[in-house]
Amino acid sequence: MGYRILGDVHTHTLYSRHAYSTIQENVQAAAHAGLEILGSTDHLSCMLFPEQHVRNFQYFINMGIWPREWQGVTLLHGCEADVEGLDGSLFGQDIACTEDITGRALRRERTLFERVTSAADYVIASVHNAEFASGCDVARITDMYVAVLEQPRVLILGHTGRSGLPYDLDTVLTCAKKRHKLIEINEHSLQSAGPHQDMCRRIAERCAELGVGITVSSDAHIAPQIGRFDAAERMLAEIHFPQELIMNRGREAFMQAIEASGVSNVEPR
């Protein structure tokens, strides 16, 4: 079974520090790959800066200047926020933001997360450092992922297949389906042999059985990786995954997924 996936909605630019391309280079790569949609989702995480101040995150705040349509590609902006707590909390939600990037006091105190994501089209929530959940049982991790999916700005649960945190698939996937949220099948997680591949396969199989929407993402950290899903497509073909559940298969399907989730209202710019 062949797949036609025309959107890559988890990608990174130079801003993520361990990535290597500009947003223009990524857009050009997406256009060259024949994609209809590109989501730029740099890290919102403590891994970027030792000082967690809004000035360091103004890259996100100014994304509104990006053209929505660029070289024939619909460009969406978001972020990949770290899951940091067993309560499902995300990076920046415990950091007060009392001033703007010039140092001027804000009329209303907001969290850093609120300030950075207020104009985002969607958020991917991912675990990168699982130490906070060390020793926790499956029930605790399951509750954590459910709480993440219940966050109003989160659209996609990122690369749970390689987080190293076991959870009850049916409980989390049922929550995702109920809330019209999406589960990521991450190309990078499938590029090396081992338990990551097995877990990703189990997740995909159960999503197919339960009718849960997924995104197939490159997690590209350099432009030539944009739109490359070779390992993910092979795995999905092996299990006969339904094309209609791949919500980034094209522009229309992904826009409908955002609308159904209530995460944001994507307007043309």
pLDDT at 269 over 80: no
d(C-alpha 181, C-alpha 207), whole Å = 12
Backbone φ and ψ for 268, nearest 5 degrees, come out as -65, 150
Domain of residue 28, residue span: 7-261
Of 253, 132, 133, the residue nearest 182 (C-alpha)? 253
| Residue at 267 is within a domain | no
pLDDT class of 85 with cuts at 50, 70, 90: very high
| Residue at 137 is within a domain | yes
Angle at 245 between CA 6 and CA 263, to 5 degrees: 80
Query: The whole model's pTM is what?
Result: 0.97
Secondary structure class of 23 (helix, strand, coil): helix
d(C-alpha 183, C-alpha 146), whole Å = 12
Neighbouring CB atoms inside 10 A of 93's CB total 17
Give me the mean pLDDT over the 194-199 stretch.
86
Give the count of alpha carbons within 13 A of 223, CB side only. 14
Handedness of CA 154, 79, 162, 249 (dihedral sign): positive
β-strand pairing of 122-126 with 105-111: unpaired
201-204 — which CB contacts under 8 Å span 24+ positions?
201/235, 201/239, 202/169, 203/160, 203/161, 203/169, 203/173, 204/235, 204/236, 204/239, 204/241
pLDDT class of 214 with cuts at 50, 70, 90: very high
| Residue at 96 is within a domain | yes
pLDDT at 88: 98
pLDDT at 239 over 90: yes
pLDDT at 267: 74
Q: Which residues contact 41 (CB under 8 A, 6 or more apart)?
A: 9, 10, 11, 12, 77, 78, 79, 80, 124
Give me the number of domains the chain comprises.
Answer: 1
pLDDT at 1: 61
pLDDT class of 133 with cuts at 50, 70, 90: very high
| Residue at 268 is within a domain | no
Give me the mean pLDDT over the 87-109 stretch.
94
Chain mean pLDDT for the chain: 96
Residue with tokens 């994609």: 35
pLDDT at 77: 96
Of 175, 167, 82, 171, the residue nearest 130 (C-alpha)? 82
pLDDT class of 195 with cuts at 50, 70, 90: confident
Q: Are 26 and 226 a contacting pair, CB within 8 Å?
A: yes
Q: What share of the chain in percent tops pLDDT 90?
A: 92
| Residue at 266 is within a domain | no
d(C-alpha 147, C-alpha 4), whole Å = 32
pLDDT class of 95 with cuts at 50, 70, 90: very high
| Residue at 70 is within a domain | yes
The domain that holds 209 is classified in CATH as 3.20.20.140
- Token pair of 120, please? 């985002």
| Residue at 132 is within a domain | yes
User: pLDDT for 103-113, tens place per residue?
Assistant: 999 989 899 99
Helices marked H in the chain: 23-32, 58-61, 112-117, 138-149, 169-178, 195-210, 230-238, 251-261
